Structure 1
Amino acid sequence: MTRLLPPFRAPRYQTDAWYRWLALIGTMRLVCQPRLKAIHQLERVSTGLERDGVVGDDDSGQGYEWRSLDNDPQFACRGQLPLPGWNMLEVSIRHDQPSASIRLYVDTGAGFNEAESHYLTLRPGRISKRLCFIKPGTRALRLDPLETAGQFKVDRFRLIWLTPGFAHDRLAQRLANLHQDWLETPKHRVIERLKQQACEDGLAWRELALHQYEETFVRHCARQSYREWLTQQPVLSPEDLQTRMAAFTYRPLVSIVLPVHDPKPADLERCLDSVRGQAYPNWQLCIADDASRNPRIHALLKQAAALDSRIEIEFRPRNGHICAASNSALALAKGEFVALLDHDDQLRPTALYHVVEALQLTPNAVLLYSDEDKVDASGNRYEPHFKPAWNPDLLLGQNYVSHLGVYRRERITAVGGFRQGYEGSQDHDLALRVTADARAEQIVRIPQVLYHWHAGRDSTASAALAKRYTAEAGLKAVGDHLARTAPGARIEHGRFPNTYRVRWPLPDPAPLVSLLIPTRDQIAMLRPCLEAILDKTRYPRLEVLILDNGSTCPETLAFLSDIQRDARVRVLRWPHPFNYSAINNFGARQANGEVIGLLNNDVEPLHGDWLEEMVAQAMRPDIGCVGAKLYYPNGTIQHAGVVLGVGGVAGHAHKYFSRHEPGYFTRLHVVQNYSAVTAACLVVRRETFDAVGGLDEENLAVAFNDVDFCLKVDELGLRNLWTPFAELVHHESVSRGADDTSVKRARAASEAEYMRRRWRHRLFDDPAYHPNLTLIHEDFSLR
């Protein structure tokens, strides 16, 4: 990079040409780092350098410096102002809240106001960033550091001036990744099309761009911090552990495979200590050093082996990368089971204890996996990943198994160990091959955090984009798996890093689909629903059965008469009291299709391929019900799968999340198995619908009939599935109305009680969810 003359700094966002030009001017500073002065609802809580109420540098790096007294703390920003134009706002704040966000206010002459402010959610252990456009004539800045009472310390707050080209690239990248209007647009086309759209709308393109960019920043607050949650979890005493292990009748040797290549010595020491500190003693540590260049690494490894006979090491003469090194370590393994460990990560002291505890009940397991979290350089734990039980469709979309993964050694050997050429996603590739012909009961989830990912600056744990090659290796791994198990299926990258989408083939010829749409009047909802289905849907073989439950509105009756001119549409009369289950069962008996689609009269598809996606999934022989991704009209999530137990019976996963959010570990954007999906848009094979006797007319006339139906399908041994690639808008409950009378409330209570009696053994142990996650809310927050 071109050397700059003082007093310039060299932020990495600029181009060399810009630096050379700026050096000639010699007056501007690109990096703005205002001093912060408390002006509202803030008080100091710790010592630090402060003059006249202005925050200075605190070299101690320990504890919090400020306490927010209420929900509106404010800092005035003193000193220099940022340069006009595009800036990158960088903020890092340590705090004691479950989650936090900041807002930067910009006064351009009209005072501070929401319209001229920039919102940013803070992420623990990371620098949070976003673009800001600073208008000429800016007079002052104000930083609101939290939106709640709490303690915090500002570690970083600065704005860096950007070249327009760099800013536009970042803008286009975020819109292409997160904004619904641009998800299918190549990044390099976004700015061009933004300008075209703005011209058509009579807007300045930057105004439109900033509005849409702002929409990608969403508010989401966890209800309890992980740190606080950890303090409330029971801890087994050493005596209890010894007593429980003494009762084990099966005490297998567990070999830990540890490939090593040039880690930081301190990280490796912590890793080795975490193995030596295991409560379960029957382990073997198999280390393959992949030609590390640092002699301290060799010394550490030799010292560890000298101190503990359970540690064996092979020093590889040449660097062969992680798959080759893992195979070298695997060759040392003598245990029945093999656990995988990275050289800068750590095991919980009870990790192997919980693995062997699970093996007491499932000694024939071929794969066991646990929850995981991240740990920063200071030892702070954050971002726990509480995983579902065996979820084969989710594994095709992302490597949710990850760590801690423990495999039966003979199965690893049988599939050929680690395959070179899959570096970066070698664990994903191994999990797919090991589980390909395993029975579901042989794959065991351990619902405990047993593994800590080290969140170093360049680690995959701290930044999914730090190792872009992992996404390509994962794509290759899933593609190879499909080539072996499902010829004809195609794999492509998903919308987020290290996620994937499988495009399943339709049978040839495509099966006839019968869409069942119960309705009564409500022409304002029914007309756009039917017109959107008939006009947009590209699926080649379709019949629509409108099940009229006593419409009396003349406009509705005229529309129903007219719509039947479309050869795909039939109107069937159901002149009985409303019973959603009975109406749909009646419609199914009249249907000609090999596939049944249950559809509300208040949904509208957003894309033409929605039904192709759902039918292709439903025609897979091991799949039962298929559900869609439904939005409220304001763009928030109405349905993204059903979680059992929430609210006492069931609730919708990620309800009210923005459509732009990734969701819990990107689960809003990958196909996965759920115990149930909503019948507002549900597709199932006719033979499956008949096999379980359709919907329950007697006990579930209105609510929960879809959940009950899905659970009966699950009992057939079929997996229910939700896909984010069938998207529809749902005007929920507009047609039928809310449960706002005593009769309706009594009926709703009766149906909920029936579900709790009928499915109590399932409602509060949903395999697609986790026992540590809330059953009160629908946001995957901690229980």
Structure 2
Amino acid sequence: PCSWFDPTFYRSHYLESNSIPIAPLDHYLAKGVHEGLYPNKAVADLPDKPIISLLVPVYNVTPAHLNNCIRSVLYQSYPHWELCLADDCSTREEVRPLLEQWASQDSRIKVTFLEKNLGISGATNVAAELVTGSYVGFLDNDDELTNDCLFRVVQQINSTKADLYYSDEDLIGDDGRQFNIFHKPDFNKELLLSHNYVTHFVVADKMLYENGGGFDSFLDGAQDFDLFLKLSEQAKKIVHIPQILYHWRASESSTSINHNQKQYANEAGRKAVANALDRRGVDAEVELLEWKFYYRVTRKLSFLPHISICILYREDDNFQQNLASLVSSTVYPDVEFLIIKEETQQLLLSDLLNSDLSKKVRLLSVSGKHTPAGLYNEAVDQSRGRYTVFLNSNVQLQQEKWIQALLEYVLNENVGMVGGRILPFKQNEFVTTIPNMENQSSFYYARYLQECSRHMNGLQWPQNVFAVSWNLAMVEKKYFLEMGGFNDESFGYLFADSDLCFRMQEQGREIFYTPFALGQYLIPEEEQFSSQLEQTGLEKKLFQNRWQDKLSLGDPYYNLNVLKRKNVTETDFLNWYVGEQAE
């Protein structure tokens, strides 16, 4: 009847001595569920079987939804749990007797009734006083767990020894029909400052929860967001379980479906982010956005360093016009524009160099034939700025303070490179969340590698990423030189930026994407590589071979389960993503 119940296992362990014939499932439903008997060998063989305490604040929930919520816990395949319910002075007459009835049926179900209404945070904190388990999970009174939820969590507890866990979830209606699925990335610290992408299902080590101080009643409406921010700051290890373990109930009174409800929750979420930044010693402003429950963090810059913007020269009629527009529109006070050209290229910049704008422009002419990566290496070596921007000459910046937006990240420790958002030519997105694996071009693969996770997680929000493009990116000059710059021998044309990001990550550096450094291509980007197909094809093979192990593990910020939407198998994807060696 269900995948987690094994009648053969159950009969051999619990019914062989039973003199009265009874079907294993009948016995399990009548007695085994309440006695904590194991429904299969996988659960029985778990080495460590901690008690998971589930906290449920209850208030005026419909009886049907409350029953479904409690049943979803009772029928867990993993039996070592306790359900801690705190009724927050419900005015519906059915709620109290229903809770008392459930508590009388199973000793693991614990109920307390508050004498006055404390709100969702206060009620959850009271429920936490009932906890005896070593881990704490959080469940809303009208939501449900999947039957294997706690088993999957305890599997991870046994294998990872982390102290904070969260899973994927789906959105269901009153009748249980699935409306939507939320496939989440592995822990993305920066994305979490824009919105609560985690939500459910969260399980924390009890000591971690207690050290976090529980729920804050002043932030009701965003209390779960605030709690996870606090827990994530103190957790030694955070594990994402990429499986749907939680059913989030959609209702007209819930923010899950109606963002016009609980307007106070939007402001509470902003305060939660602001509080988190204060705790971390980050001087920043947090703004509400047009999108409800999404926030913009703007870090205040402690100083404005000298910036070198490196641009590869192109022999076309539009280069001078585009450069002049860029120089004149850039308001950042301390900047040089370093134009890199090969000696054999004809210089078509006379108008610009004879204008007042020339004070900010410097030409670097190099002898011999160089790849783009080699030219950039020469430019950084000769640059005067403390920080370097790599900028494609066919990218037109759309925002005045784009340099400051990049600086918000590179001024911090442990940052490798930060990239901006570049709108496609004529708004036609070249890459989407689901790959077109029939497209075998090296260029498509390179951009998919860099952009797939931000398409999944939201192009509008700053976030940690796997890699960024050198078409709009910033790096500290000193660190770039320490890393040996771009590997122009192996990845001269297309993969040097991703290769450098991967090498930075090996040293513990983080790579960031921000949409607030916004540009747009003036021509289709792929046209720039039309004459380099042979070189870029070889680069792709070298890149996949060099980074085979890293690619085989996948992008941590991209959830492979999204592939199922288009019937793409994980095996087929990895063969395309990792290369021939994955077969």
TM-score range (shorter-chain normalised) is: 0.7 to 0.9
**Who is 2:563 aligned against?**
774
- Describe the SS at the equivalent of 2:535: helix
Which of residues 298, 301, 310 is equivalent to 1:516?
Answer: 310
Q: How far is the alpha carbon of 1:733 from its aligned partner?
A: 5.8
Mapped to 1, the partners of 2:101 and 2:186 lie a distance apart of 39
DSSP 3-state at the match of 1:634? helix
1:669 aligned counterpart, secondary structure: coil
Alpha-carbon separation, structure 2, partners of 1:403 and 1:769: 18
Q: Partners of 2:542 and 2:47 in 1: how far apart?
A: 41
Q: Does 1:244 align with 2:67?
A: no
Hey, what's the Cα distance between the residues in 2 that align with 1:775 and 1:711? 27
Please tell me whether residue 548 in structure 1 is matched to residue 341 in structure 2.
yes
Alignment counterpart, residue 347 of structure 1, candidates 107, 126, 145: 145
Alignment partner of 1:622 is 2:417: no
1:295 pairs with 2:62: no
**Number of aligned positions between the proteins:** 533
Q: Say if 1:244 and 1:401 are closer, same or farther in 2 by CA, change over 3 A.
A: same
Q: Which runs of 5+ in 1 are unaligned?
A: 1-234, 657-661
Match status 1:595 vs 2:387: yes
1:104 aligned residue: none
Counterpart Cα distance in 2 of 1:644 and 1:437: 40
1: CA distance, partners of 2:416 / 2:436: 17
Query: How far apart, in 1, do the equivalents of 2:522 and 2:430 lie?
Result: 9
**Higher strand content, 1 or 2:** 1
Letter paired with 1:429: D
Counterpart CA distance in 2 for 1:282 and 1:644 is 44
Q: Is the 8 A contact 1:423 1:470 kept in 2?
A: yes
* Structure 2 partner of 1:723: 514
Return the offset for 1:588: 0.6
The aligned residue for residue 176 of structure 2 is: 379
Question: What is the rounded CA distance, in whole Å, between the counterparts of 1:604 and 1:672 in structure 2?
Answer: 22
- Rounded to whole Å, the distance in 2 between the matches of 1:552 and 1:428 is 56
Give 1:557 deviation, angstroms: 4.6
Superposition map of 1:670-689 within 5 A? 670-689=461-480
Alignment partner for residue 534 of structure 1, among 321, 327, 348?
327
Deviation at 1:664, TM superposition (A): 4.6
Residue identity over aligned pairs, in percent, reads 30
Provide the rounded CA distance (Å) in 2 between the counterparts of 1:708 and 1:351.
Answer: 38
Deviation at 1:625, TM superposition (A): 1.0
- Residue 747 of structure 1 corresponds to 535
How far apart, CA to CA, are the structure 1 residues paired with 2:436 and 2:83?
40
Q: How big is the shift at 1:446? A: 0.3
Question: Is contact 2:450-2:498 (8 Å) kept?
Answer: no
| Mapped pair 1:446 → 2:219 | no
**Corresponding residue for 1:491?**
286
Could you tell me which of 273, 296, 310 is aligned with 2:108?
310
Aligned to 2:264: 469
* TM-aligned CA deviation for residue 604 of structure 1: 1.0
Q: Partner letter of residue 674 of structure 1?
A: V
Are 1:376 and 1:455, in contact at CA under 8 Å, matched by a contact in 2?
Answer: yes
1:13-412 correspondence to structure 2 within 5 Å: 236-239=3-6, 242-363=40-161, 365-412=162-209
Question: Does the CA-based 8 Å contact 2:52-2:137 persist in structure 1?
Answer: yes
Match of 1:757 in 2: 545
Aligned-partner Cα distance in 1 for 2:75–2:564 = 35
Q: 1:355 to 1:669 in 2, by over 3 A?
A: same
Query: Structure 1 pair 299/289, CA: closer, same or farther in 2 (3 Å)?
Result: same
Q: Is the 8 A contact 1:432 1:481 kept in 2?
A: yes
Q: How far does residue 558 in structure 1 lie from its aligned partner after superposition?
A: 2.7
- Mapped partners of 2:212, 2:399: distance in 1: 41
**d(CA) in 1 for partners of 2:363, 2:542:** 33
CA distance in 1, matches of 2:212, 2:481: 40
Question: What is the CA-CA distance between 1:550 and the residue it aligns to?
Answer: 4.8
1:520 aligned partner, one-letter code: R
Query: 1:776 and 1:589, CA in 2 relative to 1: closer, same or farther beyond 3 A?
Result: farther
Evaluate the alpha carbon distance shift between residue 550 and residue 300 of structure 1 in structure 2; reply closer, same or farther with a 3 A threshold.
farther
State the alpha-carbon separation in 1 of the partners of residues 524 and 491 from structure 2: 16
For residues 244 and 286 of structure 1, the distance between their equivalents in structure 2, rounded to whole angstroms, comes to 26
Deviating more after overlay: 672-681 vs 571-580 = 571-580
For 1:319 and 1:430, how far apart are their aligned partners in 2? 21
Write the distance in 2 (CA, Å) between the matches of 1:564 and 1:322: 63
Confirm or deny: 8 A CA contact 1:630 1:637 kept in the other structure: no
Pair 289,650 (structure 1): closer, same or farther in 2 beyond 3 Å: farther
Mark the CA change 1:733 to 1:633 in structure 2 (over 3 Å): closer, same or farther: closer
Find the aligned partners of 1:685 and 1:638 in 2 and give their Cα distance.
29
Does the CA-based 8 Å contact 2:253-2:261 persist in structure 1? yes
TM-score by length of 2: 0.85
1:373 & 1:327 partners in 2: Cα distance?
A: 26
Give the match's secondary structure for 1:421. helix
CA spacing shift, 1:491–1:451, aligned 2, 3 Å: same
Label 1:338 to 1:321 Cα distance change in 2 as closer, same or farther (>3 A): same
Q: Which residue is equivalent to 1:692?
A: 483
Q: Higher helix proportion, which one?
A: 2
The alignment partner of 1:263 has SS state of coil
Q: Deviations for 1:436-458, whole angstroms, at most 9, x for unmatched residues?
A: 1334xx00000001111111122
Q: CA deviation at 1:311?
A: 0.5
Equivalent of 1:424 in 218, 221, 224: 221
Distance of 1:770 and 1:326 partners within structure 2: 31
Q: Give the counterpart letter for 1:600 in structure 2.
A: N
Over 3 Å counting, the alpha-carbon distance change for 1:505 and 1:754 in structure 2 is same
2:404 pairs with 1:612: yes
Decide whether aligned partners of structure 1 residues 669 and 534 sit closer, same or farther in structure 2, where only a CA change above 3 A counts: same
Give the superposed CA RMSD.
3.0
Residue matched to 1:460? 255
**Distance across 2 between alignment mates of 1:293 and 1:369:** 33
Contact 1:547 1:571 in 2 (8 A): yes
1:361 maps to amino acid: S
Distance change in 2, residues 1:414/1:644 (3 Å): farther
Q: Secondary structure at the match of 1:338?
A: strand
Per the TM alignment, residue 243 of structure 1 is displaced from its structure 2 partner at its CA by 2.3
TM-score by length of 1: 0.64
In structure 2, distance between residues paired with 1:747 and 1:466:
55
Counterpart CA distance in 2 for 1:750 and 1:653 is: 17
How far is 1:244 from its partner?
Answer: 2.1
Deviations 1:127-180 (A, max 9, x none): xxxxxxxxxxxxxxxxxxxxxxxxxxxxxxxxxxxxxxxxxxxxxxxxxxxxxx
- Matched residue, 1:711: 502
Q: Please identify, of 563-572 and 684-693, the stretch whose mean Cα deviation from structure 2 is larger.
A: 563-572
Measure the CA separation in 2 of the matches of 1:344 and 1:452: 9
Alignment CA distance shift 1:712-1:388 (3 Å): same
Deviations 1:680-709 (A, max 9, x none): 001111232123211111111111111111
Partner SS, residue 57 of structure 2 = strand
Deviations 1:112-137 (A, max 9, x none): xxxxxxxxxxxxxxxxxxxxxxxxxx
Alpha-carbon shift at residue 655 of structure 1 (Å): 7.4
| Alignment correspondent of 2:581 | none
